[in-house]
Structures are given as C-alpha cells and as structure tokens.
Amino acid sequence: MNFIDPSVSLDDSVKVGYFSVIEKDVKIGKNVIVGNRVTIHEGTVIGDNTTIADGAVLGKGPKPAKTSTVKLSDSIPALEIGEDVTIGANSVIYRGAVIGTNTLIADLASVRENVEIGNFVIVGRGVTVENYVKIGDRTKIQSNSYITAYTTLEEQVFIAPCVTTTNDNFMGRTEERFDKIKGATVKKGARVGGGSIILPGITIAEETFIAAGALVTKDTEEKTLIKGIPAKFVRMVDERELL
C-alpha cells in the first residue's frame, strides 16, 4: 500500500514501489522511478527520468536545535530536483535545496536546506552537505566527506574521501563567533586529498592540489601543490594535470 495525495501531479509513466508516501502538491515528471518506503514531502518538484532508491526522504522540513547557529527564514521553498537525477537509498534531502540535472546523491547522503547543487555533480555515499552551501557543476565529493555550512565548492572541484571542512574558529563558544562563521571557498578545478582538514574561511585557489592528510591553515596560491601539517608549498602542479 502507498499513500499518494490526490493533489500529486504524476502520469502513468511514473513507477512507485511499496509503502511509499507522497504528500500534497508534489510534482513528479515523466519516467520517474520511486522505490519502496520513500517519503516525498509537500511541494517537492522532481524532474523527468529521475530515480529515487528505497528509503529516501525528500523535502524534509528543517528543525534545528535551540542552541543551533542556523537561522531559518519564515518560509523555506520546496525541494527542487532536476532531470536525470539519481537519489540513493536512505538519503535525506531537505526543503530549500535545489539539485541540478544529471546529478547523483548517493546512498546515506544528507543534503540540508538552502543548498544549491549544480549539474553533473556527484555527492558520494555518506556525505553530509550542511546548509548554505553552493556546489558547482561537475564537482565530485567522495564518500564520507563533511561539507560544513557556508562553504562554496566551485566547478570541477574534486573532494576525496573523508575530507573535513570547518567554519567556526571559536568551536561553539563566545557570542563573537556568530558574525564570523564561514566555511571554505574551493575554487574551480582544485583537488583536495583524502582525510584533509580545511580550517574556517580558507580560500583554496584554482587548480590547487592538496595532498592527502593535509591540514590547510591559510589561503593557497593557484596551481600549487601543498602538503603537511600545517600544509605548505611543495611545488607547482604539473601543466599536464591542469584543466
């Protein structure tokens, strides 16, 4: 048995599995596949040819803790998912997110409100994308990485597994922190190696290569390779590796 509100817009080309819930005013394009035990919340818009795997939750409304720094507007728009998107099993995507075409949100990923994800993006298994994040076209974020709030990843950025971005130098103490919370800005074509940590407000310049396990404490220069704890300049990136 499924529950599909009478106001839902879908045609005969849509396939819905068992025990799924689709709330009112949801709009589903043609040739969409909805798996088992999927919940699609009110107003969500889903483009043609999108596949939603078992257990996914789409359009969930945010409810931050009383001590959270997150400030919500009175009205958060519905989730928008483009065409030819793949949503993995047990992933959760909140209201107020916009997902571009041909993008993959893999199993167990979490995408918060006020997030913009471009076209041909990969958000890997178990990745967390917090609120107020922008991710450019053709960027790849591999498994178990953490993209903190107020982070920008530009086009064709590569984030290896288990990368951690941070946004609060005060780690939750003093009122001063509220005006200074800021994630990283990772410019076009930059690559961040596995297990690296990027400190708050850092700018990773275009085509920077950050070696695995680095601790990035200061802004980088374009086309440089950096590594270490703290990360330091090693050499320029080989011309053959540039976009």
Binned at pLDDT 50, 70 and 90, residue 38 comes out as very high
Domain annotation for the chain: domains and CATH numbers: 1-60+77-112 (2.160.10.10), 130-237 (2.160.10.10)
pLDDT grade for 209, boundaries at 50, 70 and 90: very high
* Distance, CA of 163 to chain centre: 13
pTM for the structure as a whole: 0.94
Q: What is the mean pLDDT of the chain?
A: 95
User: pLDDT class for 212, splitting at 50, 70, 90?
Assistant: very high
Instruction: Tell me if 16 sits within 8 A of 4, measured CB to CB.
Output: yes
**What is the per-residue pLDDT across 159-206, written as a single tens digit (0 to 9) for each?**
999 999 999 887 777 776 767 789 999 999 999 999 999 999 999 999
pLDDT band at residue 112 under the 50/70/90 scheme: very high
Quote the Cα angle for 40-46-47, to 5°.
Answer: 160
Q: How confident is the model at residue 240 (pLDDT cuts 50, 70, 90)?
A: very high
pLDDT at res. 169 = 80
AA letter at 86? T
Mean pLDDT for 208-230 is 98
CA angle 150, 85, 243 (to 5 degrees): 65
Q: Which H, E and C letters describe 161-213, residue by residue? A: CCCEECCCCCCCCCHHHHHCCCCCEECCCCEECCCCEECCCCEECCCCEECCC
Query: Between the CA of residue 173 and those of 17, 132, 181, 182, 236, what are the distances in Å?
Result: 47, 21, 12, 15, 39
- Residue 89 and residue 30: Cα distance in Å, rounded? 21
